[in-house]
Amino acid sequence: MRTPAELEKYFSALGAVFVTPRGEFLERLRRVRALVFDWDGVFNPGVKGEGVANTFTEPDSMGTNLLRYALWRANGSLPVTVIVSGADNPSARKFAVRERFTAVYTNVLDKSRVIAEIRTTHGIEGAEIACVFDDINDLAVAAECGLRCLVRREASPLVQDFVAERGLCDYITAMGADRNAVREIAELMIGLLGDFDAIAASRMRFDENYARYFTERQAVQTESVTMDEPGY
Q: What is the pTM of this model?
A: 0.95
Residue 54 Cα to chain centre, angstroms: 18
Give the pLDDT confidence score for residue 208 in this predicted structure.
98
Task: Please name the residue ranges forming H helices in 35-156.
Answer: 58-75, 90-98, 112-122, 139-142
Type of residue at 28: R
Cβ burial, residue 57 (10 Å; 0-12/13-18/19+) = middle
Confidence band for 230, pLDDT divided at 50, 70 and 90: low
pLDDT band at 51 (very low <50, low <70, confident <90, very high): low
Among 130, 186, 139, CA closest to 160: 139
Give the model confidence (pLDDT) of 122-141 as tens digits: 999 999 999 999 999 999 99
d(CA 9, CA 12): 5
Provide mean pLDDT across the span 154-159: 96
Q: Is the pLDDT of residue 53 over 90?
A: no
Which pLDDT score, from 0 to 100, does residue 144 have?
A: 95
Residue 75: CB atoms within 10 Å: 14
Q: What is the pLDDT of residues 7-21, one digit of tens each?
A: 999 999 999 999 999
* pLDDT for the residue 97: 97
Give the torsion sign (CA, 59, 68, 24, 114). Answer: positive
Q: Residue 44 carries which DSSP code? A: B
Domains of the chain: residue spans and CATH = 4-219 (3.40.50.1000)
Query: What pLDDT is recorded for position 169?
Result: 97
